[in-house]
Structure 1
Amino acid sequence: MILFRVYKLLLYLVLPLLAFPSFAQFQADNFIERLLKKHPDRFSEILAKPDKYQIQILYTKIDRNKKNEPHFTTHGYRVNSSAYFYPASTVKLPAVALAFEKLNKLGIDKYTPILTGADRPEQTKVEEDTSAENGLPSVAHYAKKILLASDNDAFNRLYEFIGQQEFNDSLHKKGFTNARIAHRLESPLTAENNRYTNPVKFVKDGKVVYEQAGKFNAQEIKAPEPVLLGKGYMKDGLLINEPFDFTRKNFFPLEEQHRLLKTLFFPDQVPASQRFNLTEEDYKFMYQYMSQFPVETDFPASYTDDYYDGYVKFLIFGATKTRLPRHIRLFNKSGDAYGFLLDNAYIADFEKGIEFMVTAMIYCNEDEIFNDDHYDYETVGLPFMANLGKTFFEYELSRKHAVRPDLGRFEVQYDK
């Protein structure tokens, strides 16, 4: 009986992947390396020291048939799901999707005000948001701030609404089995405190429509083995000459990040068990704010000069402060922390009819000291990301597409 149950479980896990082979797998060939070697001016130093920079890349070509149905060809470079890197703000994208999914399950509109309480000394309340048009926090406004400007507090509030255990269980059930979401971001809370999440309630027209008590995850979220990186780290102004402990830090492997992006942009190509329960309006919302520039935004109204076009756009644009073209859009979620720089993007040129997906990570920490704020983002990471995006974009321009894609699904109306 036990063997039969195991067999059924394996079939449940494997058959969906067999049904979508081009979607679930990537080719660990030398396609990306050969492409990068054609541009020694851009990549010679990086390619000469791949171990130092710990580069991982996934690139997906998308070819449409006459029915506009997509076919995916994914190539990988040094992708290793067991090699640890800190995922930084890229964990915010699944937070938005899971928060929307939870609201849909509860029958609550994403614009309904959410009030966060506190039932432990280290927790903080939120009952207003002056950056919102109505002055009140909502899951929609938190999601907007995450997708537009990678707001850490907004992520923390969604983390509290979802709950640590539910966050992880939900991702694992959808096949993102190696993801570990263990903590709030830019927070002084300990690993133990992060297992507790705040009480929340939704209020509409002065009435509580849903109330959720504070939660505790009885299962500790940590790596199966110790994860110790680097030569040292700063603590209270002092250098500690020991590796930094990432054992209880977040983890989100590159392959799973890339698959999440595909799941959100091509849900019809994913087995139903792996999809998020999102409405078409949810998808449109995410597409809009993943690609909208901060200066195109009404609220928060503060997203002006300090939030330049390339603020969180690493691939192709390298976080440039110059005005970016409006016909090329990165629907992305990037991140940088502890010297790890990442971007995860569906990229579309609506004038030329080009679309492709890239997920990439590079380690930019020459001295291998953490928490010293001496990372090499500007000199190494961002130039690499810009060159990588440009190289794939140029390749897409040069290759033959049998059918020009209809990208109408992703052409959204921006705030202004």
Structure 2
Amino acid sequence: MRYLLLCLLLTATGAAYGQNPLPQLLRTDPILAAVARQAGEHRLQILYTQIRRDAQGQPHFRSYSYRLRPGEYFYPASAIKLPGALLALEKLHDLRQTQPELRSNAPLRIAAAGWGQTPVERDTTSADGRASLAHYVRKMLLVSDNDAYNRLYEFVGPAELQQGLRRHGLRRTVLRHRLSVGDQDSTARHTNPLALYTDTTLARPLYLQPAAYFGGRWPHGQRRGRLIGTAYLEDQQKIDKPFDFSTKNATTLVDLQRSLQLVLFPETVPPAQRLRLDSADRRLVLNSLHQLPRQSQHPRYLPADYPDNYVKFLLAGGPAGPLPEGVRIYNKIGLAYGFLIDNAYIVNPETGVEFMLSAVIYVNSDGVLNDDRYDYDSVGFPFLRRLGEVVYEYEKSRRK
């Protein structure tokens, strides 16, 4: 299969490809300019990739960046769920080589074998009342469900996660813990026993996976800048020193955008680094990345609780509201510890606009972490919304 070398342009600067439009776009808008003037304080990074289609419809990329610093740490929060989903479905694909009956919607049962682990017998939000890898992928990408990610973490396991990340070129990404359950190094190394079954009766297992322990060394990821803030809260007590992120998940904007490239544009990736996914599982991911919560039947999400822009920060972040007409956003966001991240492919088939845009901003003016007093609404969401709007308008007028 032909490898389109010139498509692989996710680089640290845009200087080699012509004038970088980002500095001018940031300067000319007051909302963006206010943040850009304090870019270091906000740990701001932006990666913008233009897409041009040739006569055969093949995509060609040209990337530009603003303050892109792979060595500067940011907490990725839920943004790492996309590579987690891809590696879970790839593991299933590999298992299918010896168990052809395995499907991503196969009923899944998870047991508990150690401290802090929790079992799963049923999932009442699914159509058949059972958990499955496919259902977890949907919940995780549709509304950023943390438990869904944790179950995929248990299915793949820490060792295979790190190997898969390296294999697909995500070399600065480290997935080393579950989310929102207080996972420490000792518990993150242990994964639950689980089984995949032929049907909802759970009478005949197709695949049994025992409890496992990862005894290896975690990759380092970024070594610098892991101490953030001036203080943090722990057990309702204020600790007057920076919060240490050295045992947390890590990634870069380049890796995040590459994870989109892996699933959206597989033909632009070197053959050895391409995902091993069945077409049905790839469609599952693509549909879950762009579908709005109200469009889901299983699970069912009420618009009052999950508006259209619930997990769409670029172009639509902030108060509840619809997406711009005709626009489809394939994305994964992250929000925690004062960090806001959105990693998006934005497309409007009617106007021919399509581009990738990834950004991270830190909004914690008091310097205290874990106090739930972040500047998401006053600074973070308005910035990401406006950044998406400005780049989208620029794309509409740009000569392709």
TM range (shorter): over 0.9
1:175 to 2:169 alignment: yes
CA distance in 1, matches of 2:340, 2:231: 19
Tell me the CA shift for residue 26 of structure 1.
Answer: 4.5
Tell me the CA shift for residue 326 of structure 1.
Answer: 5.2
Q: Deviations over 1:219-253 (max 9, x none)?
A: 24263747221111001111000111111000011
CA distance in 2, matches of 1:378, 1:220: 39
CA distance in 2, matches of 1:93, 1:242: 32
Tell me the CA shift for residue 17 of structure 1.
Answer: 11
Tell me the CA shift for residue 28 of structure 1.
Answer: 4.1
CA distance in 1, matches of 2:263, 2:336: 24
CA distance in 2, matches of 1:241, 1:118: 37
Matches within 5 A, 1:7-406: 19-20=5-6, 22-29=8-15, 30-39=20-29, 41-107=30-96, 108-205=102-199, 206-221=203-218, 223=220, 225=223, 227-325=226-324, 327-401=326-400
What SS is found at the alignment partner of 1:321?
Answer: coil
Tell me the CA shift for residue 382 of structure 1.
Answer: 0.5
Tell me which amino acid in the other structure corresponds to 1:243: P
Preserved contact between residue 61 and residue 73 of structure 1 (Cα < 8 Å): yes
**Structure 1 residues 263 and 356: CA distance shift in structure 2, 3 A:** same
Preserved contact between residue 99 and residue 158 of structure 1 (Cα < 8 Å): yes
**Structure 1 residues 28 and 368: CA distance shift in structure 2, 3 A:** farther
Tell me the CA shift for residue 155 of structure 1.
Answer: 0.2
Preserved contact between residue 46 and residue 68 of structure 2 (Cα < 8 Å): yes
Tell me which amino acid in the other structure corresponds to 1:110: S
CA distance in 2, matches of 1:354, 1:281: 26
Aligned to 2:99: none
Tell me the CA shift for residue 400 of structure 1.
Answer: 1.8
Tell me the CA shift for residue 273 of structure 1.
Answer: 1.3
Tell me which amino acid in the other structure corresponds to 1:240: I
Query: Which ranges of structure 1 fall in alignment gaps of 5 or more residues?
Result: 1-15, 402-416
Query: Which ranges of structure 2 fall in alignment gaps of 5 or more residues?
Result: 97-101
Preserved contact between residue 4 and residue 267 of structure 2 (Cα < 8 Å): no
CA distance in 1, matches of 2:153, 2:61: 32
What SS is found at the alignment partner of 1:51?
Answer: coil
What SS is found at the alignment partner of 2:9?
Answer: helix
Tell me which amino acid in the other structure corresponds to 1:355: E
Tell me the CA shift for residue 42 of structure 1.
Answer: 2.3
Tell me the CA shift for residue 344 of structure 1.
Answer: 0.3
What SS is found at the alignment partner of 2:241?
Answer: coil
What SS is found at the alignment partner of 2:238?
Answer: strand
Preserved contact between residue 171 and residue 179 of structure 1 (Cα < 8 Å): yes
CA distance in 1, matches of 2:272, 2:325: 36
Preserved contact between residue 23 and residue 269 of structure 1 (Cα < 8 Å): no
CA distance in 2, matches of 1:283, 1:370: 37
CA distance in 1, matches of 2:255, 2:323: 29
Preserved contact between residue 199 and residue 212 of structure 1 (Cα < 8 Å): yes
Tell me which amino acid in the other structure corresponds to 1:347: I
Tell me the CA shift for residue 285 of structure 1.
Answer: 1.4
What SS is found at the alignment partner of 2:57?
Answer: coil
Q: Which range moves more in the overlay, 222-231 or 76-85? A: 222-231
TM-score by length of 1: 0.89
Q: Deviations over 1:106-127 (max 9, x none)?
A: 1120000111111113211001
Tell me the CA shift for residue 174 of structure 1.
Answer: 1.7
Tell me the CA shift for residue 20 of structure 1.
Answer: 4.2
CA distance in 2, matches of 1:236, 1:24: 42
**Structure 1 residues 301 and 17: CA distance shift in structure 2, 3 A:** closer
Query: Identity across aligned pairs (percent)?
Result: 39
More helix by share: 1
CA distance in 2, matches of 1:221, 1:213: 22
What SS is found at the alignment partner of 1:23?
Answer: coil
**Structure 1 residues 87 and 33: CA distance shift in structure 2, 3 A:** same
Q: Which range moves more in the overlay, 42-51 or 384-393? A: 42-51
What SS is found at the alignment partner of 2:140?
Answer: helix
What SS is found at the alignment partner of 2:41?
Answer: helix
CA distance in 2, matches of 1:318, 1:291: 15
**Structure 1 residues 17 and 67: CA distance shift in structure 2, 3 A:** closer
What SS is found at the alignment partner of 1:82?
Answer: coil
Q: Which range moves more in the overlay, 374-383 or 170-179? A: 170-179
Q: Which runs of at least 4 in structure 1 moved beyond 4 Å after TM superposition?
A: none
Count how many residue pairs are aligned between Structure 1 and Structure 2.
385
TM-score by length of 2: 0.93
CA distance in 2, matches of 1:18, 1:72: 11
Preserved contact between residue 56 and residue 80 of structure 1 (Cα < 8 Å): yes
Tell me which amino acid in the other structure corresponds to 2:9: F
Tell me the CA shift for residue 80 of structure 1.
Answer: 1.0
